[in-house]
């Protein structure tokens, strides 16, 4: 696939799955052997758990792509995640506080399907913004 095609897959994935919370579309994006280095378990189930946690703790959250770069089969994304803490998260009750944090994601794409994911968000900043240290 061309560079733009791989970036398009990831842009659509973030828009439809992360922002749209349309989990029924996962089959269209994930390779059957999908591996996730970030979530437990390290497969589609781990991703689904993360998506459900995000939607319950931060309903309506939005991932904004700040930069997207492709090198071979790897697509790197620099992102901003924004939302409101409206449900329990890591033992913290909903605070109603707004947050905006940075993060990075690296995807491997093969034949239009995501084969793996690695991600990192600024969890300390998120916890601080929603009041974990207050």
DSSP letters for 4-25: HHHHHHHHHHIIIIIIT--GGG
> Are the beta carbons of 96 and 89 closer than 8 angstroms?
no
How far is it, in rounded angstroms, from Cα 125 to Cα 123? 5
Question: Does 134 map to a domain?
Answer: no
Question: Does 20 map to a domain?
Answer: yes
Which pLDDT belongs to residue 2?
Answer: 53
> Are the beta carbons of 44 and 34 closer than 8 angstroms?
yes
- Quick check: pTM over 0.75? yes
**Domains held by the chain: number:** 1
How far is it, in rounded angstroms, from Cα 99 to Cα 74? 29
Question: Does 9 map to a domain?
Answer: yes
Question: Does 115 map to a domain?
Answer: yes
- Identify the domain containing residue 71 by its residue range: 3-129
| Average pLDDT of adjacent 10-residue blocks, the chain of 134 residues | 82 97 96 98 97 97 98 97 97 96 98 98 97 80
Question: Does 93 map to a domain?
Answer: yes
Question: Does 125 map to a domain?
Answer: yes
CATH number for the domain harbouring residue 25: 3.10.450.50
């Amino acid at each position: 696939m061309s560079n733009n095609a791989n970036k398009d897959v990831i842009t659509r994935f973030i828009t439809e799955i992360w922002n749209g919370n349309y989990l029924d579309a996962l089959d269209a994006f994930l390779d059957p052997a999908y591996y996730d280095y970030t979530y437990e378990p390290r497969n589609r189930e781990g991703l689904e758990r993360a998506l459900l946690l995000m939607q319950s703790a931060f309903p309506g959250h939005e991932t904004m792509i700040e930069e997207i770069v492709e090198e071979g089969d790897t697509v790197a994304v620099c992102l901003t995640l924004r939302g409101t803490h409206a449900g329990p998260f890591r033992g913290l009750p909903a605070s109603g506080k707004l947050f905006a944090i940075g993060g990075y994601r690296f995807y491997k794409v093969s034949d239009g399907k995501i084969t793996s994911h690695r991600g990192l968000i600024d969890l300390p900043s998120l916890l601080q913004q929603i009041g974990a240290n207050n």
